Each structure stands twice: as structure tokens, then as C-alpha cells.
Amino acid sequence: MRIGVIGSGAVGLYFGARLQLAGHDVHFLLRRDYEAITASGLTITSPAGDFRLERVKGFRTPGEMGKVDLVLVALKAFANMHLVEMVRPLLQDDTAVLTVQNGLGNEELLAEAFGVERVLGGVAIVGANRGEPGVVHHLTYGAIRLGELGGGLSPRAERLAAMVDAAGIRCEAVADLRKIRWEKLVWNIPFNGLCALTGQTPGRLLAHPSTRRLIAAIMAEVIAGGNAQGLSEPIPTHGYIEEVLARTERNSGDYRPSMMIDRLEGRPLELEAIYQIPLQHAAKRGVEMARVEMLQALLDLGEPGKDDGAA
């Protein structure tokens, strides 16, 4: 399959590299790593085994990439104002678009431009960070759950899931995309936000009793907001929170979430997709997420270019 990767950060490079290693024709839209990757290839370090792609098809603009069968979108959501113009040159009549971006609203943006029938969404569960140019460090996990924006378990979603799974990325097709989006927000909202604000890793936050209780309370708010959205079945409050906390302690204690890295490096945060849109959806259904709203306000205060209001 001919695949175009839009958003070649750690996640896009890692998933695209796995797909290329499995024999697919992968084209990467590259920015800061363009010279290093096109000249010297792409190196992946991973608990599942290190590997190197000696030749990578990298491009500076979408127009140079050509038409593809599948567009894999891993772009940071704060750059979504450019997403439609990036995707458009890659489409042919039957091209599917799969976004594995964080948060809510990404599929709807693509569907408004290109039609619901083209769009699938996926939740990426992966810990990966960029190293020196041309190097990605895969640290933990490595899975995708995907589904149709229009709902239902389609043959297309099952075929794509089987293809991704065969490339060494555990993948499952699901019927309820909204549910898996909210399930990931249960992790993303507290850990991305608190790690960015405090500079502490998930393991450090969980080791401190008061911040552990705060994380659990934020998770309960997110679950209430999600369960008000008419999901196929509710996300359980009791048991699920403990499961997520325990899994984080086992596998992600020292991991630096993407929002923490973005804040440390002075980049914008994905506040609209991860905080503002979920808050709006919850409010429309009469659910208040006060702790989530406070997190969003504090994170927004530290955004580049924000006026502190001083006279």
C-alpha cells in the first residue's frame, strides 16, 4: 500500500517506519529532520528490537509526495489550521484518511473538507520521543485502535487494522470511535496537563499521595463527561481508573508525555483538542469538569505569546 505520513514527529516516524519495514511504500512529509533522514536514513531504537531504514522517501511539501492509498495523520493538533491543505494533494478517488492525533475534533475537521466516508480515527497508545535528527526512541507500548467516523465496524477498518497489526503495531478495529477517544482522554487530560505544569513524570506524580488522588479525581470527571456523550456502553468509573493508574506505573512512570516536552521546548500545546473541545462537549450534556477546566486555564496561561495582563 502507498501511504503518506503527515506529521513526522516521534509517533508518525515510528508508525511509518514500521509500515515501511513491513514492505509498504511510505512517503513522509518531513520538516526539521529532512536533511538528516533523506541523507542518512531513519533509525528506530525499541524494546521490540532496533532497526534502521537506509532509504526513506522524504518530502518537504505535500505536492511533492504524490497520490496515496492511505493518509496517516500524526500532526500535532495545534497545527490543524494547515491540515486540510496538507492532505488535499494526496487524495485520489478512494484514498482513506486515518488520523491518530490526540483529542477531539480532528476527524470532524477532515470530514468537513473531504466527506465522512473517507475518514477514520485512531487512538495511538505509544511512548516515543525524538532523539538526534534521524533517530526515534520507541520506549513503551505501540498500539492503535481505529474506527470509522461514521460508526460501525466496517470491512475497511478491519482490513486496515490487519495491515497495521502485520507491521508489528498491535491494532484493533472498533465500532465506537467516540468511546475510544474518551478513553484515551482519561489518561491524556490529567497526565499531559499535570506533567507539563509541574515538570514531573507520571511516576513521580503517582508516587505522591495528594497528586495521585488529584489524578484519579480528574479521571472521574473525564469519564463522566464521556459517558454523557451517548457511547455504545459506558466507561466504568470503578476499576477502570485503578487499571489505568497501575498500567501507567508499570509502563510509563519515567516517560515524558508529549505536552510536557512541548512546554519544556517552548512549543504550543494541543489545548483545543485535548481540553477545550472535550469541555464543550461535556458542558452541552450538562456535565461540569471543574478540575479539567482549571487545568486548561493554567496551561493556557503559559502558552507562548500570552499577555500576562500586567499594566
Catalytic machinery residues? 184
Residues 58 and 56: their CA atoms lie apart, in Å, by 6
Which grid cell sits at 139?
Answer: 520506549
Contact 177, 121 (CB under 8 A): yes
Residues 189 and 293: their CA atoms lie apart, in Å, by 10
Q: Which helix (H) or strand (E) holds 16?
A: helix 10-21
310 Cβ neighbours under 8 A, 6+ residues apart:
none
Which grid cell sits at 195?
Answer: 506533567
Contact 215, 204 (CB under 8 A): no
Q: Which amino acid is at 224?
A: A
Output the DSSP codes for 57-119.
EEESSHHHH---SEEEE---GGGGGGHHHHHGGG--TT-EEEE--SSSSHHHHHHHHH-GGGE
Which of 37, 44, 40, 52 is CA-nearest to residue 14? 44
Residue 187's CB is within 10 A of a number of other CB atoms, namely 20
Which grid cell sits at 54?
Answer: 537506509
Residues paired with 2 in a beta bridge: 25
